[in-house]
Amino acid sequence: MRLFQRYAARICRLRAVFDEHLYAVVTVAIASSAAGLLAASLIASRDTLVRLIALSACGAVVYVGYRVRPKARLRRAARIGLRRGEFHVVYQPIVDTRTRHCVGVEALLRWGHPKFGAGGPGLFIGELEGTRLLSALTCFVLREANNALSQPPFPQHWHISVNICARHLMEVCFVEDICGSAGPMLERLVLELTERSCVERSPRVVTALSHMKQRGVRLSLDDFGTGFSNLDLLADFRFDYVKVDRRFLAMRGEARMQFLKSVAALVHALGAKVVVEGVETAAEHDVVQHLGIDLAQGHWHGKPMTVEQLRAFALATASINTLHDRTGTEHGA
């Protein structure tokens, strides 16, 4: 009874915090209590075999509980982290390949956990996929970017790209969430959608995206070539940008040239611009420029940076661009 009361109190504490965690705890708690009762009655038995079975059942329950909890723990920690201000946003420049001027930035999420340290989205986005928390994090990214980039020295013509998760797109509140959080930044907002986000081409997704387009928001198809039904998607949604995943730039030889050239021709025929991700060297920049790729993003042009670093970057590039415009000379990034 005492065991049950302890779990019940714990469940009540968690209910307001996180639904999935509640589910996991309820499962483990009920299973543990049931197994505990069963084990207690069976262990009382004198039969060794019965005792062995009872102990293995307990072991199995503990193992299942252990396996279930890390994911739920991460989600709970992220929810608490969002409230405690453990998340921040970094910005990576997107440049025009011809002029090498920065024309926009992609806002990327970072989590600085007090115990586990700094973490890129690869460590947690996948685990949070499909939860409402990821929608809340998107709103956080939009608010942060709007607050950070709406003042000089940040050029107001820079577009701001934000990654959108599939579940958020399906929610009734999607348009309201984006418009409310982006504020005046809405007109220079680019929503980056992956193929996975659009797979569900439900009327709701189509309506939500056309609402966004009516408000001047641009759409970008992220990680092109890494999922499936790419060509379908290009035909169904009017994307403004198509971002080619960096693995295609990393290909060697003629295959890379042919692939990038064909993608550029296709995307241009549909009236969109091509962005190539993962430009890490001057030679790679030359390749994408030579192939008529419109925009590039990569470490060679600038790694993801904090808002302070981006401020210094904006000031430095503004003076280089002025010099370039006055003298008509080329400059490296």
Residue (21 or 192) nearer to ligand C2E, CB: 192
Strands 87-96 and 241-244: unpaired
The DSSP line for 57-121 is HHHHHHHHHHHHHHHHHHHHHHHHHHHHT-EEEEEEEEEETTT--EEEEEEEEEEEETTTEEE-G
Tell me how many degrees the CA angle 16-107-163 measures, rounded to the nearest 5: 65
Task: Tell the residue number behind the tokens 């405690």, with chain if given.
Answer: 84
Piece of the chain touching Mg ion by CB under 5 A; list 128-136, 215-223, 231-239, 317-325: 215-223
- Work out whether 97 is an interface residue with ligand C2E (CB under 6 A): no
Q: Which of 92, 123, 130, 117 is nearest to 278 (CA)?
A: 92
- Work out whether 163 is an interface residue with Mg ion (CB under 5 A): yes
Piece of the chain touching ligand C2E by CB under 6 A; list 20-28, 71-79, 227-235, 298-306: 298-306
> Which residues have a Cβ under 8 Å from the Cβ of 236 and sit 6 or more positions away?
198, 201, 206
Can you read off the two tokens belonging to residue 80?
A: 């608490």
- Work out whether 192 is an interface residue with ligand C2E (CB under 6 A): yes
- Among 24, 25, 74, 109, which residue interacts with ligand C2E (rule: CB under 6 A)? 109
- Work out whether 195 is an interface residue with Mg ion (CB under 5 A): no
Per-residue string for binding with ligand C2E, 244-283, x by CB under 6 A? Answer: --x------------------------------xxxx---
Task: Tell the residue number behind the tokens 């930035």, with chain if given.
Answer: 105
- Work out whether 144 is an interface residue with ligand C2E (CB under 6 A): no
Q: Which of 108, 58, 69, 64 is nearest to 87 (CA)?
A: 108
CB of 229 to Mg ion, least distance (A): 17
Instruction: Give residues in contact with ligand C2E (CB under 6 A).
Output: 92, 108-109, 120-122, 125, 134, 138, 141, 163, 165, 192, 222-223, 246, 277-280, 297-299, 304
Task: List contacts with Mg ion (CB under 5 A).
Answer: 163, 192, 222-223
